[in-house]
Every structure is written in C-alpha cells, then in structure tokens.
C-alpha cells in the first residue's frame, strides 16, 4: 500500500472546497453550518423555556436580537484581535464567509442584548439564561464544523490516526512540510457536546440558584477552550508570550467560578435565615385570693 493511501486511511480529510456554486449564486458551507447551529440553539432553548411556563414568542425575539448582535460581536472581536488576518480588501472586515468569528465577542454581546430584551419583557433573566446555556453549547459545537470547511482552527502537527489533513495553502509557514494536524475544531466540538450533557446532569441532580447553570457553562467551556488554545499554531496576538485567547479563557474561568460560589452562597444564606419569632408580652397570672 502506498504512503498516500496509508495517509488517507489514517487521517481526517479536509474539504476541497467550502462553497457550492449554483449558477450565479455561491452557497458557503460555513454560513450553512452557522445557520444549523442557530436553529439548534433556538429549538433547545425554546423547549426548555416553555417547559418552565415560558412562551415561544420571547425565544423567537431573543433569537432575532441575540443572533444579530451575536454575529456583530463575534466579528468585531475577530477584527480587533486578528485584524492582520483579514482579506486585504475594503470588504475584508465584513467577510464572515471566509471565517473569523470570535466566540467570546459573539456570546458576550448576544447575551447582553438578549438579557435586555428579556428584562423588558418581564422575564426572569437568570432562569432564562439557564435554559439557554445547554443550547448555546450545542450550537457552538455544531458551529465549529464550519472551521472544518474553511480548513482553520487546527493544532500542531500530529501523526495520530485522527490527524486532520490541511492543504499546503492553509498551513502555517513554520509547518509547511507537515501534512496532518490536531483537529482542534473537532476537540472543541466534542467538548461542547459533552459539556451540554454535564449541564443537564447537574441541573437534574443538584439545586442551583437561577443563573448559576449559565455560570457553570462559562466555566466548563472556558476550561476546554484554554486547553485547545494551547494546541493551536495559527497566528494570534500575544500578551507576555501567551495567546490572547488563553488570557481571555483564564479570566473567564476565574470570574465564572467566583460568581458561581458567591451567587450560590448568598442564596443559601438567604434561604437559611428564619424570621425572628414575634415577641409576646407575658401575661401575669391572676392572683388567687384566699377564701374569706
């Protein structure tokens, strides 16, 4: 068996093209993947919210506002942190079909705008965030397959059976001779799917204060992202020799853990305080007069 045949049997192939041409139209599989991810998040969140007495109308409104601002936030994060990777054209900052959406910016701005919309609708925002958390993880896992179409988000070279084949045009200069790399996109996708299951299990077995399941989502996801970022070899801005996203993930881990503990303890203390017993005035016993 030739070396090329052995490679194809012991690695994950990458798509030769990320678009489908239909006459004058070009369908970008990256965009289709994101669409599937959004639908999954809406469906999962809607089912969970309506089971708690909510309505679909709010979920649909959150989807419109949250997704729109989520995409804006995700693109802004990428433009700010990876501006040198943009196409050298006037439309470069807007070319999301070529990849480049920062999950931190997308989740951050999308959640903030969604929370504002929910608050104005009179909904319980912490409870709603808990309903949305597993759906977001599933959506993030699905969305990572968009990186597979674009041959991006991969780690260092590897000869493991699940190594990802990357074409020479998409390889880093330092590893131009390598053919297979760690499929970091797949690692993150599997981590997100597993984390979603963990959230559902924790929700069923433990009593958490509303809002803390979302904090747990941030904590678990950030741990996985911290590990995955250390595998990546694509260009990235660094602070003190450490990738920017590693710093962001570390801050998110500390912040979410601190919030989880503080929020949960405050709730338990509030539940444990019993109101003081009302003071009662002592009623003197009637003196017993001796019989005459």
Q: For the chain, what are the domain ranges?
A: 28-168+176-269
Mean pLDDT of 265-282: 56
pLDDT at 5: 41
* Region of poorest pLDDT, from 9-23, 28-42, 65-79, 88-102: 88-102
Distance CA 161, CA 2 (A): 16
Q: Characterize the bridge pairing of strands 19-22 and 25-28.
A: antiparallel
Distance CA 44, CA 76 (A): 27
Distance CA 255, CA 284 (A): 59
* Residues 39 and 138: beta-carbon distance below 8 Å: no
Of the ranges 106-120, 165-179, 272-286, which is most confident? 106-120
What DSSP assignment string belongs to 184-232? HHHHHHHHHHHHHHHHHHHHHHS---TTHHHHHHHHHHHHHHHHHHTTB
Distance CA 56, CA 53 (A): 10
pLDDT at 100: 66
Mean pLDDT of 131-159: 92
* Residues 142 and 31: beta-carbon distance below 8 Å: no
The angle formed by the CA atoms of residues 98, 12 and 81, to the nearest 5 degrees, is: 35
Q: Please say if the pLDDT value at position 87 is more than 70.
A: no
Tell me which residue of 171, 231, 180, 157 sits closest to 11, measured CA to CA: 180
Q: How far is CA 233 from CA 85, 135, 152, 190, in A?
A: 14, 29, 10, 20
Q: Please say if the pLDDT value at position 8 is more than 50.
A: no
Mean pLDDT of the chain: 84
Q: What is the 3-state secondary structure (H, E, C) of 163-197?
A: EEECCHHHCCHHHCCCCEECCHHHHHHHHHHHHHH
Distance CA 132, CA 211 (A): 10
Distance CA 253, CA 234 (A): 23
Mean pLDDT of 215-227: 96
pLDDT at 85: 67
- In this prediction, residue 267 has a pLDDT band, given cuts at 50, 70 and 90, of confident
Rounded to two decimals, the pTM is 0.82
174-212 pLDDT, tens digit per residue, is: 888 899 999 999 999 999 999 999 999 999 999 999 999
């Amino acid at each position: 068996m030739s070396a090329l045949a052995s490679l194809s049997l012991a690695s994950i192939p990458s798509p030769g093209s990320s678009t489908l041409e239909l006459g004058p139209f070009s369908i970008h599989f990256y965009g289709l993947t994101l669409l599937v991810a959004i639908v999954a998040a809406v469906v999962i969140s809607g089912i969970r919210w309506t089971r708690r007495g909510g309505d679909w109308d709010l979920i649909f409104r959150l989807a419109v506002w949250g997704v729109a601002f989520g995409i804006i936030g995700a693109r802004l994060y990428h433009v700010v942190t990876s501006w040198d990777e943009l196409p050298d054209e006037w439309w470069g900052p807007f070319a999301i079909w070529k990849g480049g959406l920062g999950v931190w910016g997308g989740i951050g701005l999308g959640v903030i705008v969604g929370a504002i919309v929910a608050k104005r609708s009179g909904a319980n925002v912490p409870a709603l965030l808990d309903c949305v958390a597993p759906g977001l993880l599933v959506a993030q896992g699905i969305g990572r397959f968009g990186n597979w179409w674009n041959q991006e988000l991969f780690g260092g070279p590897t000869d493991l059976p699940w190594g990802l084949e990357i074409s020479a045009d998409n390889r880093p200069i330092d590893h131009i001779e390598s053919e297979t790399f760690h499929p970091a996109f797949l690692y993150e996708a599997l981590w997100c799917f597993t984390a979603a299951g963990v959230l559902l299990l924790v929700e069923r077995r433990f009593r958490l204060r509303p809002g803390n399941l979302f904090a747990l989502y941030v904590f678990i996801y950030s741990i996985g992202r911290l590990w995955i970022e250390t595998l990546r070899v694509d260009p990235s801005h660094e602070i003190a020799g450490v990738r920017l996203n590693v710093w962001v993930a570390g801050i998110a881990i500390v912040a979410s853990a601190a919030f989880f503990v503080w929020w949960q303890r405050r709730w338990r203390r509030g539940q444990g305080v019993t109101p003081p017993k009302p003071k009662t005035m002592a009623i003197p016993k009637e003196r017993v007069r001796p019989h005459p």
